[in-house]
Structure 1
């Protein structure tokens, strides 16, 4: 099965209740918000989904419920990265049973591993996967930056493409150049501000965290990048830059982007901002700052 992974694929947050259960009602509202914004796919259990902090039971419940709500309207990607090899297989099998379209694999976190160890890991893992897979480069959380050689080997094993969240523009360009003769191999950027450059060079889309709350803005940026509408690109990029300077820049913790996304959704009445431990939601002061920023964006017609 070859999915055509293109466009804006939000790394959806996991709506939680105060007692850390899945908020099923808010889940439906969030998914409909994303789909009404025109997104091209949904990525469950990524970093913004707080996947490593959730129980297997909650992860499975999220995947089952989300797939039922989405009901084939867009491709569903499920993160299965885990410290446990068997845990990854278990989640992949559940994703398949729930109707997901692909799984997403980053290097197992905690132990630093070499390229050779990652390649051997994929050689063991991939034959056991019941779904196609997307590779995920996330060095800030995994202690390794996937080499071009490792990515090439993953492609030869059947990888649909790679999501690059390194934040390194030169690495992104290197990926695009290395695989320019394989247009079916999707290069998806995780640093959403890089989207226009990625599309211009031959990339295919973005897993944009901000698309959780402003999906249409990122879809419009993708469309403008594809059609080379320079005036529109400049206009929307200014808004994305402002988003980085405001909503993503509240608080001092490294978790401020994920917390900011959930807080924004809470202020917009889409889902609450309860976090899975060890993360905690913003205090009243920071929440008020997010509220002010959201109101400014909304007055500008951004959605």
Structure 2
């Protein structure tokens, strides 16, 4: 369909050895991909260690980067230091809004974050300020993102939180989720509305 890359999570449910994970990604890496390390879900049974990410990056040029959806600065740091030294083109993105600034500060490349669906101007302002070395401005936006990321805890699911926030900000979005997920009602909507007003007004 013309996509530049696919983002590929490790297999879930059954724990696998690093050797098995390496073989899995070796097959998938025939196409251009990004690795997805996603530890914010209890379904993630197979962690991608910095050493495994480096081994894959060294072996397969089609593996263009990693999305680090992990609440660990140490892991992000170790991936950046171990992989980007040999693969300057390898991209390290964060998947967590509140880690955007420190990922850039450590030498990472950017982000793929859900709050950017309803507050892209904050993410863009942080990025631009950081690139221009206006670190005070960048930190100000990072603090906004830290507050905005509380939206994930306000709803029954990630999808409900993002869709409600998008609707409240005027984006054209259908207020439906695939079962078994459900859209939350007015009480959650009001909580999210207050958060958006506090941070973005």
Query: TM exceeds 0.5?
Result: yes
Give 1:37-52 correspondences, 5 Å limit: none
Distance in 2, Cα, partners of 1:217 & 1:231: 14
Give a deviation string over 1:227-257, Cα, whole Å, max 9, x none.
Answer: 2212202221221122134x23314x4x2x3
Give the one of 34, 58, 77 matched to 1:134.
34
- Is residue 83 of structure 2 the alignment partner of residue 172 of structure 1? no
Give the Cα–Cα distance (whole angstroms) in 2 for the partners of residues 225 and 144 of structure 1.
Answer: 33
> Structure 2, unaligned stretches of length 5 or more?
none
Whether 2:143 is the aligned partner of 1:229: answer no
Alignment RMSD: 1.7
Count of residues in correspondence between the two structures: 195
Equivalences for residues 1-303 of structure 1 within 5 A: 98-127=1-30, 129=31, 132-139=32-39, 140=41, 141-155=43-57, 156-158=59-61, 159-181=63-85, 182-245=87-150, 247-251=151-155, 253=156, 255=157, 257-270=158-171, 271-298=173-200, 300=201
Unaligned runs of 5+ in 1: 1-97
Secondary structure of the structure 1 residue equivalent to 2:67: strand
Separation in 1, partners of 2:135, 2:27: 45
Q: How far, CA to CA, are the matches of 2:149 and 2:160 in structure 1?
A: 13
Instruction: Tell me the TM-score normalized by structure 2.
Output: 0.88
Q: Which has the higher contact order (CA 8 A, sep 6+)?
A: 1
